[in-house]
Structure 1
Amino acid sequence: MTKIWKESGFVNDDPWVVESEETKAGSNEKAIVGLDLFLEQAAAGGSGLGVLISPADDVASLAPHLDRISLVAVAFPAFNDGRAFSHASLLRTRLGFEGEIRAVGDVLIDQIPLMLRCGIDSFAVTNATAIKRLGEGRLPGIENHYQPTAKPSANTSSYSWRRVS
């Protein structure tokens, strides 16, 4: 079971579906398609689209189409594959994408605070422990940051170089 979570809590009426050979978006749903299919649809003038960025994809190829993208899903195929962190950070900081970035795949509770800092703002969570802890409001925190990111800490004294000994 997949649940969509944002900082405001779980989302019950999310219309987005990651399409695959087995799964297609229904009439009341919106499709998230792979990069190649997305580029074809964007070239044909499509807008309000959702795109899935896999770890090996070149996220910079989205630059000419950012105004037509409603959602970018960044794939975490395994907990130890962090390339989607870089994709999200590049989308926010270098490409200036202001739309929704969603983490999909192996989304674990301990990584969510780091994902938030990289600019990811929604999460397709399947891990039972993560769903339980998010439902209880038990998101782990990060006390000290070593560098600013796409979403810097509200507490500027939490950065390691600004701490007072």
Structure 2
Amino acid sequence: MTKIWKEGGFVNDDPWVVETEGVKAGSNEKAILGLDAFLEQAAGGASGLGVLIAPADDVTRLAPHLDRIALVALAFPAFNDGRAFSHASLLRSRLGFEGEVRAVGDVLIDQIPLMLRCGIDSFAVTNATAIKRLSEGRLPGIANHYQPTAKPSTDAKSYSWRRVS
């Protein structure tokens, strides 16, 4: 079972569905398309779309279409594949995307604070431990940050405020 989580808690009735050959969005749902299918739809003028970015995709291909995107889903196929962290950072910091960025796939509780710092703001969680900890409000914290981030730290003693680039 997949549950959608944001910093405010779990979301009920999320309309987004990652489309595959076997799964299509229904009448009350919104489709998240693969990059090539999305670019084809966007070239035709469609807007309010969702796009799935796989680890090997070039996220900069979205640049001319950012105004048409409602949601970018970043695929985390395995806990040790961190390319989607870079995609999130590029979307927020360099491309200036302000819409929803969602982590999908192998979303683990230990990675969520880092995903939030990179600009990911919603999570499709299937891991039972992560769902349990999030429902209990037990999100792990990170005491110090040395790198710039898409989401600045609220802690004045943190190092994330030193630079924005």
2-structure distance, mates of 1:160, 1:93: 14
Quote the offset at 1:161 in angstroms: 9.6
Change (3 A) 1:81 1:88: same
Secondary structure of 1:152's partner? coil
Alignment TM-score, normalising by the size of structure 2 = 0.96
> Counterpart of 1:55?
55
Letter of the structure 1 residue corresponding to residue 145 of structure 2: H
Distance 2:112 2:161 in 1: 24
Q: Single out whichever of 129-138 and 148-157 deviates more from structure 2.
A: 148-157
Q: How does 1:133-152 map to 2 (within 5 A)?
A: 133-152=133-152
Name the residue aligned to 1:3.
3
Q: Which residue of 1 aligns with 2:110?
A: 110
Question: Which residue in 2 is equivalent to 1:65?
Answer: 65
1:46 aligns with: 46
In the alignment, is residue 18 of structure 1 matched against residue 35 of structure 2?
Answer: no
Q: What is the total number of aligned residue pairs between the two structures? A: 162
Question: TM-score, normalising length from structure 1?
Answer: 0.96
Q: Secondary structure at the match of 1:33?
A: strand
Alpha carbons 2:153, 2:161 under 8 Å: kept:
no
Structure 1 window deviating more from structure 2 (71-80 vs 150-159): it is 150-159
Match of 1:158 in 2: 158
The alpha-carbon deviation at position 159 of structure 1 amounts to: 1.9
Q: Deviations over 1:98-141 (max 9, x none)?
A: 00000000000000000000000000000000000000000000
- Structure 2, unmatched stretches of 5+, are none
**Structure 1 spans left out of the alignment, 5+ residues:** none
SS of the residue aligned with 1:158?
coil
